[in-house]
Structure 1
Amino acid sequence: MRKVPGLLTIVLSVIASLDGKSFSESGLPSRYHVSGVIQLPYAEISEPFESWIDVTLGFSRIDYYGGAAKTLQRKGKSDQDFGANYKIVPISTEEVLNQLTCFQSNGSAEGSVDVQHTVPDINSFEDLGPSEWRGIKCQMYQSIDQVGDKRSTYTYYINAETKHPVHYEMFGYDTLIGSHFDKYTIDYYNYDEEPIDESLFHFTDELKCIPFPDSDNEHTSPRVLFNPMSEYINRHGEDELESSFEQFKRKHSYRYNDEHEHRHRLKVFRHNNRYVNAKNRAGLSYKMKLNKFADRTDEELRVLRGRQHTKGYNGGLPFPVEELTSSNEALPESIDWRIMGAVTPVKDQGICGSCWTFGTTGVIEGAYFVKHGSSIRLSEQDLVDCSWGFGNNGCDGGEDFRAYQFIMKHGGIAYEDSYGPYLQEDSFCHHDIATKGAKILGYVNVTAESEEALKIAIAKKGPVSVAIDAAHKSFVFYASGVYYEPDCGSKLENLDHAVLAVGYGTLNGQDYWLVKNSWSTYWGNDGYVLMARKNNNCGVATAATYVIVA
């Protein structure tokens, strides 16, 4: 790393003192308040923050997303006091909604807690002279780290007139993989060095703080969870990232072909890790966590979403709403068909766009249970291999109604154990020699975009095959809570993933659909997601169907 010459440091210190600035020996202001926005373009994150730093008092406070998550760093006061990190966030569980909770992580002799700055230390940069940033006359500083094939360039812009921070950016380039492995920027505003009300640093005094639960964040170090700014300003997250990545690989038994692929996967893991951590600070109605997809690109994940869509009538029967509501009996406030035995265990479609087959088997298994009172397991592979003649394309996508039509013409769908194991790839069809587990007489289109109709269908008929817009990173890393994605589409053309609605209910005042996915029990909440039952978010009620079994 190139260092700014010592003489320049002295000159800068003199200039700062003449301007009335108070700098600590490190070259950083000893007291300041500043707001800003962290931009993570590869993770599609824009995260606002506000910070208060007072080196003399030994405190720093950084709030994210308008105070949805608050972090506090307290420097140790003696040889036996190594300081502490605090994080205050709203927590929602089965019992409480948005309960402010204080988590604490104490420092140690090996890792004491210090004040966390939100602007970089100018002493670690080389002065490159006058420049401009978006029309602002600035002084530009730069620092370059070269480690093997990786070159990290840090650039810092300071307002030439006010000496206030303007912009900070990092670009990391890996010559081995021939691309940027990292990029982030911070834009600053509202900087001042006025005295800070000391009470701002003592908002945890009246709170009972507890250790952070490790199980939900197995691939993120406690330091990053409690002090995310350190990853951007202090530049010491690489070793921890590598350690987390190795742990991730061991858990999922991932092995890569060579160093080139390893670095590519590490790059993807880094950005997904930051995305999940940043979103979890935003005070959403749900939480995310890294899962088996953490090293996968958006292009690779698109393979999992294999639902196609066809415009026009699909041959289904109209929804008999009058028949189903003629008794005037009130629908149950909540229902979970898993408890009653109508839902088979969560499966894993693997790297195959066969989600439509799992929605199909699930709705038939549920309807069979509702009519006959017994549980059966049906073959997705039967549909992958054999329903091409009805417009489905195996691992390259399909639709539930086309699978229904195949099953109706060919005498039913095979039992899973008779047809053979699911292969997560296209294979030879042997439907005719397999034992059939269920026959269907027809299928019904639930009234499009009607959440009330879907509620009736689930309550009266059992699990329902539904299609959703799952093309969002927030869905890929969903872990718990009620999932609501404002960017979700609900039109037929937006729906790219087939799943199974197996119930509905309300959690802490938030209505939800209970949805079974086909991405294994390592995804979501043991393979399930609670999807918001509001404004037809993500299109759950747009293209729902159920079957009539023989």
Structure 2
Amino acid sequence: MVLERLGRSPRVVSAPPPRRIALTDALGEYADRSESDSAEDDDWFPKPIPITIPLGSSQELVKLFHDQKPDNPNLPPLLLPEYDKEEATDEQSVSGSEEQRGRGRGAPAPDVAQPARPRFDRSMLMRGTLTVPRSDYTETFTVWWDASSGAARVDFFDGATSTYRVVLPDGHVQGVEMHVDRTEEFDVLRCVQTAPRRAAPPDRAPPALPDLDLFSFGGYTETPQGRAERWKLTAAGRGGELGGVRGEALTFRHELLLVRAPDNYTAVPLQYTVSVDSSVLGYNVEGYEFRYQELRYETPDPALLQPNTADVCEELSQTDKIEVVEPLREYTMPYRDPRYDAELIRLKTKFYRQYSDDVEEALRKTLLIGASRFISAANRQSGPSLLEVNFLADRLEAEQRLLLGAGEAPGPSSAEAAPTSQRRARRDAERLPRNFDWRRHGAVTPVRFQGSCSSCWAFAVVGAVEGALFLRTSRLVPLSEQDLIDCAHPYGGHGCSGTWPRAAYDYIQDQGLRALDEYLPYEAKVLQCAARQTRPVTHISGHVNVTRNSELALKAAIRRNGPNVVLVDGQSKGFIYHKKGVLYDNRCKKRSRNHAVLAVGWGERRGESFFVVKNSWSSNWANEGYGWLHAPSNTCGVLTEPSYPVLRDPDVDRLPRESSSTDPAPPLSSSPAPPVAPVPQRSKRTSRRRYRLSLP
């Protein structure tokens, strides 16, 4: 539980002052909100902006949106090791407790008269689940609510995160959120609280239940729990109202199913669903469902509702984001949470987004809302990794797949046999350090961005050759991905389409690889091959497929041969929105092998290893372009298909002038390149100057 005492004094972290935003009067009490997540308040840093190109017209994008299907919305956002899938599936198949089912069948209300409007005005303990299908997850929650004061507590994922609504003696309300941060070497209990505020009606209502004063009776329906009442609300707005963008009219359809206790008055909720229709995107573009598995009307122990931040929290910070301390509130609002207006502005400003028309803006906002909900729920799991909203949060899955370029294996491998057996790897394990990273030794070039071109295969192989060349020459020479994209077709390369890394290895072995600033600049598309106009910097003698599913073999291969190419599942939301910590997620598939990245080293956290991977999605992904993948669990398949190039001394053709390895690419010039002195015919028997770098 989050409230376990850790025995240390809190460290108070100040927050930036809140920024008020104006919202439409149509939202009533829900519009009185403070926001500090605007672009002006964000931490800005000079990063290259990753530009992504839409796949087609607005109407084509809408069709792709409706073609998207969730993978498994009954699972939690991240499948952590302690999660028992079978147990959770059984639990989610039950709508209401045994007590609820008995009550529902015992005394159904008569058909001849409308039942009395239900009231949730008694203190309660409630357990349930929230499923958001388009965001592809389910989260569990437990609510304690005191009806006399309005104080409440909600535990998410069995107490991984707890939120509190504290009612102060003067009647003001303060929100508190507590969670254990497991992204560092040691657990840290972090707490966030809001400033006291005057209580509005939602600040007194029970969490996870809608305000039924707005609903009307819609008849009866048969359920496994007996005959249930249907209470419905339809909220329709005009263009730009209720959370829609300009020109978009939204319609929210709410339905609550409940049964009555034997007294024909006490209401027991079973299920609450919301679906959203858009005038420009179509039907059911957004939706979610509460399933109430247990409800007991009882007064909670007052100690359960007191967070006691002074004694428990190790870090205490301030926030004015109500969604942090009341995560379930947006799902019981009659309309869309107005904070997403500011979220969209922030994303558009940060990543220089320009949408073609109102239809695309409506689509992008809907996608952003879905991504934000997934990320927030995943972070409430308090796992070893943290997710964040990044430049892919408003992109369709089809657009995200453009970044995945590892194709199917074309047939028998031309790789050399792996020189490191499992027995030798185990013997060498004692010699391997706990932490090793080629970035610290100068063998890794800066993170680059592949753009809307499925060329990750080229970026990963180029990075591996750059590292291998550094080991031979002590020079870090940036090499050209465009060379591979343009020219590797005869060897099985498919340019901006899925390509197995072997095509890149075979091309470099036969034709060599050119320097980044001597070949055509990267344009995220296939150009006419210009390899004959520039001499290569290096060839390779071949490549090696590292022993599969062996943590020790991959570590040894990285240590001896430089960064390795690894193939991972880049389509998992946990991977896409990864920010920091060690990603440990069994929803990230081990055998998908759809994305190529570069393993540049490894580390250890809490006694378990992780691999450091360099991505080609710009420094706006994860930690400046680098992520950590849990090694023992083979998260995302990092151990499934590793490989590295074999680069020997005779393979080095030449080293460009020193500035080629350090300076950015010069501007293009129409003047011819200066003549280059001829070099001997490449041969393994040719006498060459021997370059050697001692391993650190």
Deviations 1:15-62 (A, max 9, x none): xxxx9xxxxx99431411111110100011111100011132341001
**Is residue 141 from structure 1 mapped to residue 245 from structure 2 by the alignment?**
no
SS at the partner of 2:431? coil
Aligned AA (2:291): D
SS state at 1:366 partner:
helix
Distance apart, 1:142 and its partner CA: 0.6
Q: 526, 542, 553: which one pairs with 1:453?
A: 553
In the alignment, structure 1 residue 466 sits paired with structure 2 residue 566: yes
2:540 corresponds to which letter in structure 1? I
Q: Which one of the candidate residues 399, 423, 429 is aligned to 1:300? A: 399
Conserved? CA contact 2:466–2:477, under 8 Å: yes
1:252 to 335, 348, 351: 351
Q: Distance in 2 between matches of 1:70 and 1:329?
A: 42
Alpha-carbon distance in 2 for matches of 1:147, 1:509: 55
- Taking the aligned partners of 1:112 and 1:238, their CA distance within structure 2 comes to 16
Deviations 1:334-371 (A, max 9, x none): 10100100000011111110000011100000001111
Q: Is the 8 A contact 1:145 1:152 kept in 2?
A: yes
* Aligned counterpart, 1:223: 322
Code of the residue aligned with 1:515 in structure 2: it is V
Matches within 5 A, 1:52-201: 52-78=144-170, 82-97=172-187, 99-108=188-197, 114-117=203-206, 118-134=208-224, 136-148=226-238, 149-161=249-261, 163-201=267-305
Q: 1:164 is paired with a residue of what secondary structure?
A: strand
1:542 aligns with 2:640: yes
Partners of 2:342 and 2:428 lie apart in 1 by 61
Change (3 A) 1:60 1:456: same
Please give the per-residue CA displacement for 1:161-212, whole angstroms capped at 9, x wherever unaligned: 4520111110100022223231011011211112221111124353247555
Give the distance between the partners of 1:183 and 1:34, measured in 2 at CA. 22
Is 1:350 aligned to residue 451 of structure 2? yes
State how far apart, in whole Å, the 2-side matches of 1:213 and 1:515 are. Answer: 34
1:6 aligned partner? none
Instruction: Answer whether contact 2:235 2:334 (CA < 8 A) is retained.
Output: no
- Aligned-partner Cα distance in 2 for 1:327–1:487: 32
Is 1:515 the counterpart of 2:613 in the alignment? yes
Q: Give the superposition deviation at 1:462.
A: 1.2
The farther-off stretch of 431-440 and 267-276 is: 431-440
**Alignment partner, residue 8 of structure 1:** none
**165-174 or 67-76: bigger deviation:** 67-76
Q: In structure 1, list runs of 5 or more residues that go unmatched.
A: 2-18, 20-24, 215-220
Question: Quick one: which amino acid aligns to residue 114 of structure 1?
Answer: D
Go from structure 1 to structure 2 and tell me whether the alpha carbon gap of 1:476 and 1:213 turns closer, same or farther (over 3 Å shift).
Answer: farther
Q: Distance in 1 between matches of 2:281 and 2:601?
A: 46
Q: Tell me the residue number matched to 1:309.
A: 408
Deviation at 1:327, TM superposition (A): 8.2
Further displaced range: 390-399 or 174-183: 174-183
Q: Point out the more displaced range, 116-125 or 393-402.
A: 116-125
Letter of the 1:107 partner, please give it. P
| 1:9 equivalent in structure 2 | none
The one of 631, 642, 648 equivalent to 1:533 is 631
Structure 1 distance, partners of 2:429, 2:214, is 74
- Does residue 1:408 correspond to 2:516, yes or no? no
- Tell me the distance in 2 between the aligned counterparts of 1:451 and 1:278: 31
CA distance in 2, matches of 1:514, 1:358: 16
Task: Tell me, yes or no, if the aligned pair for 2:173 and 2:198 is still in contact at 8 Å.
Answer: no
Q: Structure 1 residues 94, 327: closer, same or farther in 2, change over 3 A?
A: closer
Measured after TM superposition, the shift of residue 449 of structure 1 is: 2.1
Which moved further from structure 2: 328-337 or 104-113?
Answer: 104-113
Distance 1:522 1:233 in 2: 33
Of the structure 1 ranges 258-267 and 49-58, higher mean CA displacement relative to structure 2 is found in 49-58
Distance across 2 between alignment mates of 1:311 and 1:249: 41
Following the alignment from structure 2 to structure 1, what is the Cα–Cα distance between the partners of residues 603 and 298?
A: 51
> Over aligned residue pairs, what C-alpha RMSD do you find?
2.4
Q: Give the 3-state SS of the residue equivalent to 2:541 in structure 1.
A: strand
1:288 to 387, 395, 417: 387
Counterpart code for 1:285 = P
Equivalent pair of 2:485/2:526 in contact (CA under 8 Å): yes
Give the secondary structure class of the aligned counterpart of 1:34.
strand
Residue in structure 1 matched with residue 361 of structure 2 by the alignment: 262
Corresponding residue of 2:140: 48
Q: 2:495 & 2:429 partners in 1: Cα distance?
A: 43
- AA aligned to 1:345 is P
* Contact 2:435–2:604 (8 Å) recurs in 1: yes
Return the TM-score normalized by structure 2.
0.71
Q: Percent identity?
A: 29
1:8-47 alignment runs, 5 A limit = 27-47=119-139
Matched-pair contact (CA < 8 Å) for 2:164–2:306: no
Distance 1:336 1:358, change over 3 A: same
Matching of residue 487 in structure 1 with residue 487 in structure 2: no
Tell me the amino acid that sits aligned with residue 417 of structure 2. P
Compare relative contact order (CA 8 Å, sep 6+) and give the higher one, 1 or 2: 2
Secondary structure of the corresponding residue to residue 503 of structure 2: helix
Q: CA deviation at 1:444?
A: 1.3
Q: Is 1:207–2:305 an aligned residue pair?
A: no
Map 1:372-391 onto structure 2 (within 5 A): 372-391=473-492
The alpha carbon displacement at 1:223 in A equals: 1.2
In structure 2, relative to structure 1, the CA distance for the partners of 1:26 and 1:434 (3 Å cut) is farther
Distance 1:209 1:503, change over 3 A: closer
Quick one: structure 1 residues 60 and 135, their matched pair in 2 at CA, closer, same or farther if it must change by over 3 Å?
A: closer
Q: What secondary structure sits across from 1:525 in the alignment?
A: coil
Do the aligned residues in 2 keep the contact of 1:489 with 1:538 (CA within 8 Å)?
Answer: yes
Q: How far 1:74 moved relative to its partner?
A: 1.2
Q: What is the SS of the residue equivalent to 2:390? A: coil
Q: Which residue of 2 aligns with 1:279?
A: 378
- How big is the shift at 1:258? 0.6
Query: Which TM-score applies when normalising by structure 1?
Result: 0.89
Flag the 1:109–1:161 CA change in 2: closer, same or farther, 3 A: closer
The answer to whether the 8 A contact 2:258-2:271 is kept is: yes
Whole-Å separation in 1 of the counterparts to 2:430 and 2:313 = 47
The whole-number CA distance in structure 2 between the counterparts of 1:64 and 1:382 is 50
Q: Is the 8 A contact 2:122 2:298 kept in 1?
A: no
Contact 1:74–1:113 (8 Å) recurs in 2: no
Give 2:489's aligned amino acid. W
**What CA distance in whole angstroms lies between the structure 1 residues aligned with 2:130 and 2:183?**
29
Equivalent position of 2:5 in the other structure:
none
In 1, Cα distance between equivalents of 2:638 and 2:532: 34
Match of 2:121, as an amino acid? P
Q: Distance between the aligned counterparts of 1:374 and 1:110, measured in 2?
A: 64
Q: CA deviation at 1:395?
A: 0.6
- Tell me how far apart the structure 1 counterparts of residues 383 and 443 of structure 2 sit (CA, whole Å): 32
2:459 match: secondary structure: helix
Q: Provide the C-alpha distance between the structure 1 equivalents of 2:612 and 2:395, rounded to a whole number of angstroms.
A: 26
Distance 1:121 1:499 in 2: 49
Q: For the residues of structure 1 that align with 2:204 and 2:173, how far apart are their CA atoms?
A: 9
Q: How many pairs align?
A: 516
More displaced stretch, 497-506 vs 540-549: 540-549
Q: What SS does the corresponding residue of 1:417 show, helix, strand or coil?
A: coil
Alpha carbons of 1:209 and 1:320: their partners in 2 closer, same or farther (altered >3 Å)?
closer
